[in-house]
Chain A
Amino acid sequence: MSADISIQRGATIHLKGSAEKILSEASPSKTFALKPDNFFGIVPRLMVKEGDKIAKGAPVFHAKKNPQIVFVSPVSGIVKEIQRGAKRKILKIVIEAQKGEAIVHKIPSLNRLDRKTVTDILLKSGAWPFIKQRPYGVLADPDLTPKSIYISTYASAPLDVDFQFLLKNNQKDFQTGIDILNFMTDTAVNLSVESSYLGFFENIKGVNLLPVKGPHPAGNVSVHIHKHDPINMGEKVWEVRPEDVANIGKLFTTGEFSARRTIAVAGESVSYPHYVITTIGALISSVTDITGYDNKQQNRFINGDVLTGNAEAPDGYLDFHNNLLSIIPEGNRYRMLGWLPFVDNKIPSLSKTSLSWLFASKGHSVDTNMNGEERAFVVTGEMEKVFPMNIYPMQLLKACMAGDIERMEALGIYEVLPEDFGLIDYANTSKIEAQEIIKQGIELMIKEVG
């Protein structure tokens, strides 16, 4: 099928240790955690205290600004611990799994649903946090109708998952989820698919299929929105991840909050990289027990992909949204004269001062070394090469650093999320922390403009 959205600028980084297409079940996780930081822009208000017995699907905390939005327990059990950080900020709520009941919501039949009922059910059941809103990538506002909804089934980041495979046993739930989401907007849900590989997504009804092709970040929703129907000032667009569409579908079939999470465990440190079925917020060890990893060396565990994910301790927990757990070696080692051009070509590089492309076919080995130190902005034009939107990334970064709100708006802050700058983080010569700068810029926008 010809691509509606064709991306040229970007880069596919081919790394060692991609997940084999095999599904297995995770070992049972004794504890689960909810991390309020997984939901950008909210301040949590606890609804439980340590020692409380809670059912699966029972609310654990809600958003301070909008108490309708509740975050529920993925399992039944006991609230074991509420971990706090500086200024008593809630880091995570740990729940010890115990046999117990689940909250079941009454679901009217599909043809009797309307927007309001669907919203109520999503909010009450705790499925609302599956929906993200742009600009800014915050939680969706239940009181408004979005201009459109986007779902990207093309995960283009390094080692990222194949949603075709990941959802193969959940096609029905996925279709139901799409039907439900179609209640939320006036236009059909946009489903972006890799153009060469439509698979079962081609048979999904009630969607506007958007075939996409090109290198990373071609799979990012920002790119699809930008090319398809860019966000204008004041407009809101929603985004749902594919497995969460299936989770929403399952909720409307069973009445129970579905916290299914299929995780591709990938990366060079993983002994047997493949897909593992588990639950949102499970212990990382519950999946790595199955896949194994090289524990003789220091590793970094990343909830998400190596460009945009969050680092987590090996005894930590999965995040709320991610379908990928990347495990790569830490890079705290020195390289003698490593700054010479054409030296250490095994490290993947987009720069032509390296012969790393020679090693691309087998996949690159990576670690977490900075490969240099942060410097002032010097080299120009390299950010544009990996940024396929009609936005000037360096100028936008500088506007964010200066905190110049008007300029940030004019240069397109509404159309980007930090994740879109992942490749820029990776590729820029001066080791500028672009994602962090954009994140701070967005925080400033939320504070000053709202």
Chain B
Amino acid sequence: MSFLRRKLDDLKKPFEKGQKWEKYAPAINAFDTFLFVPNHTTQTGAHIRDAVDLKRTMVTVIIALLPALIYGIYNTGYQYFIQTGEAFTFLDAFIHGSWKIIPMIIVSYVVGLTIEFIFAIYRGHEVNEGYLVTGLLIPMIMPVDIPLWMVAISVAFAVLIAKEAFGGTGMNILNPALTARAFAFFAYPTYMSGNKVWVSEASNIDAISGETILGTLAAGGNVNYSFFEMFQGSIPGSIAETSALFVVIGAAILIATGVGSWRIMLGGVIGAALVGFLFNLWGANALMSFSWVNHLVVGGFAFGLVFMATDPVSAAQTNKGKWVYGILVGVFCILIRVFNPAYPEGVMLAILLMNVFAPTIDHYVIQGNINKRKKRWASALKTV
């Protein structure tokens, strides 16, 4: 270890203050701090610090994403082989999925991190770890057959417009990963909707329909999947959104480590279940009469709620606000699904909409606290 450390210190010499590559220090620091937690000691404030830092938090989210990602890779292959009718093993399916998805992840990280590094150097601050999560989320919520160049453009749009334009990590209004998906959705609708994009190679193989469940319902068709299939996720859809089971495992990791807000997750489930239940009672069309329980497990609802609605930067920041925000994400998700069949995937729009309103929710929560204080001041003045 000390050998490696010495080598690294030698390597970093030209990047030190006053040396010729000083400007580029954030770039090399980003790599160095991944190998070693730096030797910096406290200078002001508390003399001791918690072991947790942003790297650890972000890596925990990535760990929580892995079950859904691994299942998504498998499901990509599974859907492909079911469609072609070939015999296949688990490994075949996994390999097919890997060939499709790993290049997307690489493209997402390379493009996104390049932009992040450039901005870090330009602004003279260290590289924030937020993109490690965003960069993995973006491919996970795309249709499998989307061309890599579209992934690259969506990533660039999301990082530049949704994040850096607002001042970088911690300052953005919208969740960058969802912004990437929304960009792709509206810019290249033919690659992002319909019945030929959700199953690997579906447009090349003229076989069974690869429509998503919500798409089928919106078109007035019948759904032939059992609840278990929907819950387990062996259905067509965006890469990692299909399995509610593995999303729930991720949610358990986020809640157990305290990294994801259980208030938002629970609020979302309550909101969606409630609205879904009310629509069941109404039951005017196929989507309305689609059981509220099924609404919770199909489409991107579970994935979006667990991994995107809980993004602490774009969500509400107060505890009370998190409840309101979570419930409204659930409510709007089902509302959009049911009333706007052009966008069967309601959760993306619901979360982006609530991202915009999150500061307003917080404003009213905090204003409540301020009003209480001012009222107290006023009554203190009266008694004097």
In the complex, whether A369 has a CB less than 8 A from a CB of chain B is yes
**Interface SS, A side:** loop
The stretch from B110-118, B195-203, B315-323, B349-357 touching chain A is B315-323
B63 touches A378 (CB 8 A): no
Tell me whether A369 and B168 are in contact (CB under 8 A).
Answer: no
**B18 interface residue, CB < 8 Å from A?**
no
> What's the Cα separation between A396 and B168 when bound, in Å?
21
**Of the residues B51, B170, B312, B317, contact of A354 by C-beta under 8 Å:** B51
A335 within 8 A of B: yes
> Looking across the interface, which residue of chain B has its beta carbon closest to that of A354?
B51
Chain A 366-381 interface 0/1 with B at a Cβ cutoff of 8 Å (1 = within)? 1111111111111111
- CB neighbours (8 Å) of A371 from chain B are 37, 49-53
* Interface residues, chain A, with chain B CB atoms under 8 Å away: 13, 158, 230, 232-233, 235, 300, 302, 306-309, 311, 326, 328, 330-341, 344-345, 347-354, 356, 366-382, 384, 390-392, 394-395, 410-412, 422-423, 425-431, 433-436
The smallest C-beta distance from A18 to any residue of chain B, in angstroms, reads 15
Q: B60 touching A353 by the CB < 8 A rule?
A: yes
Q: Which of B34, B39, B45, B256 contacts A352 (CB 8 A)?
A: B256
B259 adjacent to A353 (CB under 8 Å): yes
Number of residues on chain B facing chain A (CB within 8 A): 60
The listed residue (B5, B51, B63) touching A348 by CB distance below 8 A is B51
The answer on a CB contact under 8 Å between B48 and A307 is: yes
**Least Cβ–Cβ distance between A285 and chain B, in angstroms:** 20
Question: Residue among A339, A351, A380, A384 with the most chain B CB within 10 A?
Answer: A339
**Residue of B36, B54, B169, B171 with most chain A CB atoms under a 10 A cut-off:** B54
Q: Are A367 and B48 in contact (CB under 8 A)?
A: yes
- Chain A-chain B contacts (Cβ-Cβ < 8 Å), number: 218
Q: Is the CB of B369 within 8 A of A331?
A: no
Q: Do B257 and A353 touch across chains, with their CB atoms under 8 A apart?
A: yes
Q: Is A426 touching B50 in the complex (CB atoms < 8 A)?
A: yes
Residue B56 at the A interface, CB < 8 A? yes
Given A354-B51, A366-B48, are A378 and B257 also a contact pair (CB < 8 Å)? no
Tell whether B129 is near chain A: CB-to-CB under 8 Å.
yes
Q: How far is the CB of B28 from chain A (nearest CB, A)?
A: 14
B257: A residues at CB distance < 8 A: 341, 351-353
B377 near A349: Cβ-Cβ < 8 Å: no
On whether the beta carbons of B319 and A370 are closer than 8 Å, the reply is no
Query: Is A395 in contact with B57, judged by CB distance below 8 angstroms?
Result: no
Look across to chain B and name the residue whose beta carbon is closest to the beta carbon of A418: B45
Q: Which residues on B sit within 8 Å (CB–CB) of A373?
A: 33, 38, 40, 53, 126
The reply to whether B59 and A339 contact each other, CB–CB distance below 8 Å, is yes
Residue B20 at the A interface, CB < 8 A? no
Q: Which B residues, 250 to 288, have Cβ-Cβ distances below 8 Å to chain A?
A: 256-259, 261
The 23 listed contacts between A and B (C-beta, < 8 Å) are A300-B47, A328-B48, A338-B36, A338-B37, A339-B33, A351-B56, A353-B257, A356-B51, A372-B37, A372-B56, A373-B53, A375-B128, A376-B171, A380-B261, A392-B366, A395-B317, A411-B369, A411-B370, A422-B45, A423-B46, A429-B56, A430-B54, A435-B44
